[in-house]
Structures are given as C-alpha cells and as structure tokens.
Amino acid sequence: MFNQESFLNYLKYEKRYSPHTLAAYKKDLDQFISFGNELVEDFCLEAVDFHLVRQWIISMMEQDISARTVNRKLSTLKTYFRFMMREELLETNPMDRVIAPRVSKRLPSFLQETEINRLLDGKYFSDDFEGLRDKAMISLFYGTGIRLAELRAIKTEDLNLNECMVKVLGKRNKERLVPYPREINRDLTTYIAKRRELFGEGSCFLFMTAAGEPVYDKLVYRSVKKHLAKVTTLDKKSPHILRHTFATHLLNHGADLNAIKELLGHANLAATQVYTHTSFEKLKEVYKQAHPRA
C-alpha cells in the first residue's frame, strides 16, 4: 500500500545509504504511517495531504520532540514522497506546502585540549579488556574524528599500524584513509594483544564486547560518556563530541578547512564551516597578532 520496501531498496541500492541510515528512515516512515492509521480510516498513500503532515508535526512538538528531530523526520517524508512522485504513484506531493519548524543554530560543543589530554594521559582506564578497549576507542575517536558507525565497522585488516592509517567506510559506503597520531599505536597494540589472548582471531571487527561480539551503539555511547564525565562538565558526552573536538583542535592549530573536510568525510565544505564559528582560541590568537594594541 505504501511501497515501503521499494522505497528502502531505492535508498539502499541507488542512494547507497548505510544500514544505520536505512533503519532510521524505516523507523520514521513507520511512525508516520502508524500516526495516519490512528486518524484516518482505511489509511493509504492517496489519503496523505499536508494537513495530516502538519498534524503529525504538532503531535511531535506536543511530545517535546525537538525541532531538529522533527525536521529530520520530515526530511524522510520529503525523500519518500519525491520517490513516490518519481515512480508516478502520486499526482501531487503533500510535502510541497509543509513548512518545517525553525531550528535554533547551535554551535558544536567540544572538549578543551587540557581535558582530553588529562583523560588520555592519566590513569582513568582499567587494565582489563574493557578498559583497554575503551581507551583504544576514545583515542581513535579523538585521533581521527571518525563517526560512531565508522568506528564500529572497522575491521582488523583496515588498520595499518606501520603507516598509522585506518581505512574508514563512511556515509553512502564511501571509503577514505584517515591518518592518526603514532602514539595511538600503543593503545591499539595493547588492546589488540588482549583481544587476541581472549578471543583469538575469531571476529574480523576490531572492537568487540567482553562476550566476543562486535560492539554496538549503546555500549560505545555508554563507555564514552562514562570516561568523558571524569574530565568534563559538558552536558553532552558522546562519540560525536570527540568528532567536534578533533575538528576544532585541528582548526585551532592552523589546519586548512578543506583538509579537515576530507578527514571528516564531509560531502561539502558547508558542513565543515560550522567549526570556524567555534574556534574562539584561534580567533583570539589572530586578534593578538593583528591588533596593534592587543
């Protein structure tokens, strides 16, 4: 009735979206269809109009769902109905008249250099398997700026310890090579040795749980949050904060914005330019050098 399978296959095979993104699109679409079923008898594709979409927006806002999340869900619907129009399954696009909620621009949060250095140089990690794994993960997050999904997908063969390089599978299955600081090899080799001692060469994935399975999102979030809480008072303590920290610190130390874009795997420079607004330390340095009375 709603051709979800055809839509998801289009995203998977033509747009080459990752399994994580596909799951998010499917969840958004299922939620909208469930909402429609509650309001419309014999709910079907042709019954969708902009009034119904607007009711869904209001319903989500009343549940205190953030405008940013609402807009992401609306983006799913826009992509879905464009596909329906392309397949000539609809004559009019119900999203044409939909106005998305305004989102206040938030600057990315990041750790100070003293904070991340204190965490990685201090005695905050245990010497057991989980402690060694957590330190290796956090070191790699900060040393490369990779996304959570990218870290989870790393296989042992993707790691080049001699060249201090890791092959990363990014959004839309685009591969890129990302260098990392040589000192991270110490954390990686210690963890890999412990991993091999416990599990042999069983799994091809680099990061594993204590049960010998590949790590999953909640475990990584929980581990990062636990350790970041030891050195920072930031409200949000997540892998993505380490990505923001990586980019901001590179910019503070004079890295070219285009180079940061490539390292982060951004499709365009606009996504990277947000870090130019957060690099206050860099602005202060430029001010000191340029202003005659500074």
- Give the DSSP letter string of 237-252: -SHHHHHHHHHHHHHH
- Quick one: 258 exposed, middle or buried, by C-beta within 10 A (0-12, 13-18, 19+)? exposed
Residue with tokens 């330019």: 273
d(Cα 50, Cα 48) in Å, to the nearest integer?
Answer: 7
Concerning whether 249 is annotated as a catalytic residue, the answer is no
- On whether the CB atoms of residues 214 and 205 are closer than 8 A, the answer is yes
First to last CA, the chain: 67
Concerning whether 147 is annotated as a catalytic residue, the answer is yes
**From 147, 194, 227, 237, the catalytic residue:** 147
d(Cα 110, Cα 7) in Å, to the nearest integer?
Answer: 37
Residue with tokens 């969708």: 48
Concerning whether 10 is annotated as a catalytic residue, the answer is no
**From 243, 244, 249, 261, the catalytic residue:** 243
**From 171, 176, 225, 282, the catalytic residue:** 171
* CA angle, residues 138, 139, 143, in degrees to nearest 5: 120
- Quick one: 102 exposed, middle or buried, by C-beta within 10 A (0-12, 13-18, 19+)? exposed
Tally helices (H) and strands (E) across the chain: 13, 3
- On whether the CB atoms of residues 166 and 158 are closer than 8 A, the answer is yes
Concerning whether 240 is annotated as a catalytic residue, the answer is yes
- Quick one: 187 exposed, middle or buried, by C-beta within 10 A (0-12, 13-18, 19+)? buried
Give catalytic residue positions.
Answer: 147, 171, 240, 243, 266, 275
